[in-house]
A = this chain, B = another copy of it.
């Protein structure tokens, strides 16, 4: 099956919003095994939309239209499609009731008594189409079958569109699958993108099915392995030997093969499994590291407290870093990082201390200590692990890479001592 996206909205053409819908729908269609050859964006203009629909029906089996289903006179997606297909627009009583119910609730809250006439426009449907309820708004979606073509209409706002697609359109589309695409993710930390690629270049070069696609993602490298097959089991059978081969090559640089799992989750799970509590001491990351850690629900069971010690005074006062260490080696040094982690453990009584000190820039760099120089230290069970790292890029990028490197050092330290 071939599928084509038509995104409708002037705000896309003006660059007011990024078309994340196109990205989401492309990915979903690829997973369904459908081939997408065209994506088109047009404004709320009847002539151009009509032309785009006709061209799409000419060359693709399935058209997915997003946007232009709202209550204003600008919104003409449904009406334009009806004209192209030569069908009538009729009132859908079910949608009318839903809209009434939905708007009355909002109006009660806003103390408005009347539903404006244009809202009923959203209860109109193309005859012989299937109405899909919108759980998060007033504009329903529609499935229209026309001879051998399928047209899906979805609302534009992603928080309405995604659940509707996920819960209704996807099950509907699955019956047209003649193959499936299944993908697995290998997430790697501690090796740069080009070094990681080099390690599997032979696999990438001979890839066909499954395919291997590398992505660099803020200090991590992810490899997506995708297999095409008639069903999920067959696809997994194709993927499995490749995953094993990559595990052999990347060893403990792989922190997970579960697409949904993040590095901070892996680290927190690891700490929890050995019943270890964590304290952080941050200089250049200034709270980003701890902020990432508490992204994980339930982080508070493991992560008790953290220090942000930007100034030398704070490093001495809370973490007990020696003034001689700061004088002799500087705030950005192996020695200071080590004392920060040890001091955080001492002050907090936690089991594991993780410290970062570095120069995120843009100012503050010198010849011997350039912008991007970062020291990371992990103190656990009386042992200290310290790393010197050199990161490139903007202030934000350096700080992002620093926090990933810190989480990774923590992961490796625990594995080395307890693993």
A residues whose Cβ falls under 8 Å from a Cβ of B: 7, 11-20, 22-30, 36-43, 45, 48, 110, 194, 213, 215, 224, 280, 282, 284-295, 297-300, 303-311, 313-314, 318, 348, 360-363, 395-396, 399
Contact = CB atoms under 8 A, between A and B. Distances in A.
A42 B55 CA distance: 14
A238 to B, nearest CB: 18
A27 B14 CA distance: 5
Contacts of A39: 7, 12-13, 40-42
B38 A363 contact: no
A48 to B, nearest CB: 6
A37 B42 CA distance: 6
Indicate the member of A213, A291, A297 with the most B CB atoms within 10 Å. A291
13 contacts: A7-B39, A15-B22, A15-B25, A16-B215, A22-B41, A282-B287, A286-B294, A287-B288, A297-B395, A300-B310, A304-B313, A305-B311, A305-B314
A308 B310 contact: no
Copies of this protein in the complex: 2
Contacts of A308: 280, 287, 290, 305-308
B310 A307 contact: no
Nearest to A26: B15
Indicate the member of A24, A29, A213, A294 with the most B CB atoms within 10 Å. A294
A361 B286 CA distance: 24
B314 A304 contact: yes
B309 A305 contact: yes
B310 A305 contact: yes
A41 B38 contact: yes
A291 B288 contact: yes
Contact of A311 (B29, B300, B313): B300
Nearest to A348: B314
B291 A303 contact: no
B15 A24 contact: yes
A194 B37 CA distance: 39
A42 B2 CA distance: 13
Contacts of A288: 287-288, 291, 294
A380 to B, nearest CB: 19
